[in-house]
Structure 1
Amino acid sequence: MKMGLVVKQMKTVETLGSATVICTDKTGTLTENKMVLSELFFAGKIYHELEIGELNSIPLGRLLLDAMVLNNDAVMVAQDYYLGDSTEVALKMAVSRQGLNLPDGIRLAEIPFNSNRKMMTTFHKLSGKIIAFTKGAPEMLLPRCPLADQLGLKALVQAMTDKGQRTLAFAYRYYDHLPEHPNSITDEHDLVFLGVVGLKDPVREGVKQSVSECRNAGIVPVMITGDHLGTARSIALQTGIIQGEKELCITGEELGKMDEDLLLSKIQKVRVYARVSPDQKLRIVHALQKSGNFVAMTGDGINDAPSLVAANIGIAMGISGTDVAKAAADMILLDDNFVTIVRAVEAGRKVYDNILKLIKYLLTTNSSELLTLLLGPMIGLPLALLPIHILWLNLISDGLPALSLSFEKADENIMKRPPRDPQDQIFSMPRTFHMLWVGIMMAGVAISVQALAFVMHLHWQTIVFNVLCLSQMAHALSVRSESRTIFKLGFWSNPMMVLSVLVIILGQFMITFIPALQKIFHLEALNLQELIIVASASMSVLLVVELAKIFVKNRSSFSLSEDQ
Structure 2
Amino acid sequence: MPGSPRAAMKIHQLAIPDVLASVRSSAQGLDSAEAAARLAEYGPNRVEPLAREPAWLRLAKEFTHLFSIILWIAAGLAFVADGFDPAQGMARVGWAVVAVILVSGLFSFWQELRVERTLAALQGLLPPRAEVLRDGVAHRLPVAELVPGDVIVLAQGDSVPADCRLIETFGMRVNRATVTGESRPRSCDAGPSDEERALDARNILLAGTAVVAGQGRAVVYATGAHTEFGRIARLTQRGGDASPLRREIARLSRRIALLALGMGAAFFVAGRLMGVPFWRDAILSLGIIIALVPEGLLPTLTLSLVLAAQRLARHNVLIRHLPSVETLGSVTVICTDKTGTLTENHLRVCRLVLGLDAADPATPGLAARHPLFFRVARGCQDLAESRCDGRLQLDGDPLEIALVELAAPHVPPPSARLDEWPFDSTRMRQSVLLADADGPLLVCKGAPERVLPLCGAVDDGAAIRPLDAPARARLQAAQDDMAEAGLRVIALAARRLPPGTPHDAAESDLVLCGLVGLADPPRAEVDSAIATCRAAGIKVVMVTGDHPRTALAIARQIGLVQGAAPRIVTGPELARLHPAQLQLALDAPEILFARVAADQKMRIVEALKAKGQVVAVTGDGVNDAPALAAAHIGIAMGRSGTDVAKEAADMVLLDDHFASIVAAIAEGRAVFRNIRKFLTYVLVHNVAELVPTLAFAVFRIPLPLTPVQALAIDMGTDSLTALGLGVERGDPAQMRRPPRARTARLLSLAVALRAYLFLGLFEAVAVLAVFCQVLAGGGWAYGADLPADSLLYRQATTASFATVVVLQIVNVFLCRSAVRSILVTGLGGNRLILGGVALEAGLLALIAYTPWGNALFGTAPLPAGAWLALLPWAAGMILIEEARKLWVRRRLARTATGAPS
Give the aligned residue type for 2:765. Answer: G
| Pair 1:114–1:481, CA change in 2 (3 A) | farther
Alpha carbon RMSD of aligned pairs, Å?
A: 2.8
Overall identity of the aligned pairs, in %: 34
Cα drift, residue 470 of structure 1: 1.0
Residue of structure 1 in register with 2:766 after alignment: 445
Q: Is the 8 A contact 2:676 2:747 kept in 1?
A: no
Deviations 1:237-272 (A, max 9, x none): 221111233644454455556555554333232332
Looking at structure 2, the residues matched to 107 and 274 of structure 1 have their Cα atoms a distance apart, in angstroms, of 33
Cα drift, residue 297 of structure 1: 1.4
Residue of structure 1 in register with 2:415 after alignment: 105
| Pair 1:108–1:371, CA change in 2 (3 A) | farther
Deviations 1:53-74 (A, max 9, x none): 523223xx21211111111233
Bigger drift between 334-343 and 264-273 goes to 264-273
Residue of structure 2 in register with 1:218 after alignment: 537
Cα drift, residue 385 of structure 1: 2.2
Match of 1:7 among 313, 319, 323: 319
Residue of structure 1 in register with 2:290 after alignment: none
Cα drift, residue 18 of structure 1: 1.7
Bigger drift between 338-347 and 417-426 goes to 417-426
Residue of structure 1 in register with 2:863 after alignment: 526
Q: Is the 8 A contact 2:545 2:596 kept in 1?
A: yes
Instruction: Determine if the alignment matches structure 1 residue 158 to structure 2 residue 468.
Output: no
Match of 2:395 among 65, 83, 105: 83
| Pair 1:38–1:223, CA change in 2 (3 A) | same
Q: Is the 8 A contact 2:356 2:474 kept in 1?
A: no
Q: Which runs of 5+ in 1 are unaligned?
A: none
Match of 1:291 among 611, 632, 644: 611
Cα drift, residue 501 of structure 1: 0.5
Q: Is the 8 A contact 1:404 1:500 kept in 2?
A: yes
Match of 1:64 among 368, 373, 386: 373
Q: Is the 8 A contact 1:19 1:295 kept in 2?
A: yes
Question: 3-state DSSP class of the match of 1:524?
Answer: coil
Looking at structure 2, the residues matched to 115 and 522 of structure 1 have their Cα atoms a distance apart, in angstroms, of 77
Question: 3-state DSSP class of the match of 2:734?
Answer: coil
Looking at structure 2, the residues matched to 14 and 126 of structure 1 have their Cα atoms a distance apart, in angstroms, of 62
Instruction: Determine if the alignment matches structure 1 residue 93 to structure 2 residue 429.
Output: no
| Pair 1:114–1:482, CA change in 2 (3 A) | farther
Cα drift, residue 338 of structure 1: 0.3
Question: 3-state DSSP class of the match of 1:222?
Answer: strand
Give the aligned length: 555
Deviations 1:337-387 (A, max 9, x none): 101111121222233333333333323322321222222452343221245
Q: Is the 8 A contact 1:512 1:526 kept in 2?
A: no
Question: 3-state DSSP class of the match of 1:558?
Answer: helix
Q: Is the 8 A contact 1:172 1:193 kept in 2?
A: yes
Question: 3-state DSSP class of the match of 2:426?
Answer: coil
Matches within 5 A, 1:337-486: 337-422=657-742, 424-437=744-757, 438-457=759-778, 460-486=796-822
Residue of structure 2 in register with 1:174 after alignment: 496
Give the aligned residue type for 1:401. Answer: T
Q: Is the 8 A contact 2:348 2:402 kept in 1?
A: yes
Q: Is the 8 A contact 1:143 1:150 kept in 2?
A: no
Bigger drift between 3-12 and 20-29 goes to 3-12
| Pair 1:548–1:100, CA change in 2 (3 A) | same
Q: Is the 8 A contact 1:250 1:270 kept in 2?
A: no
Looking at structure 2, the residues matched to 509 and 301 of structure 1 have their Cα atoms a distance apart, in angstroms, of 57
Residue of structure 2 in register with 1:317 after alignment: 637
Residue of structure 2 in register with 1:127 after alignment: 437
Q: Which runs of 5+ in 2 are unaligned?
A: 1-312, 458-466, 780-794
Cα drift, residue 507 of structure 1: 3.4
TM-score (normalizing by structure 2): 0.57
Cα drift, residue 494 of structure 1: 1.0
Larger Rg: 2
Residue of structure 2 in register with 1:233 after alignment: 552
| Pair 1:307–1:109, CA change in 2 (3 A) | farther
Q: Is the 8 A contact 2:379 2:413 kept in 1?
A: yes
Residue of structure 2 in register with 1:35 after alignment: 347
Instruction: Determine if the alignment matches structure 1 residue 276 to structure 2 residue 596.
Output: yes
Looking at structure 2, the residues matched to 163 and 341 of structure 1 have their Cα atoms a distance apart, in angstroms, of 27
Residue of structure 1 in register with 2:624 after alignment: 304
Deviations 1:71-119 (A, max 9, x none): 12333443144222222211111223xx323333122332332223322
Looking at structure 2, the residues matched to 304 and 190 of structure 1 have their Cα atoms a distance apart, in angstroms, of 39
Instruction: Determine if the alignment matches structure 1 residue 552 to structure 2 residue 888.
Output: yes
Cα drift, residue 289 of structure 1: 2.7
Give the aligned residue type for 2:586. Answer: I
Deviations 1:26-58 (A, max 9, x none): 22111111211101111121122212x523223
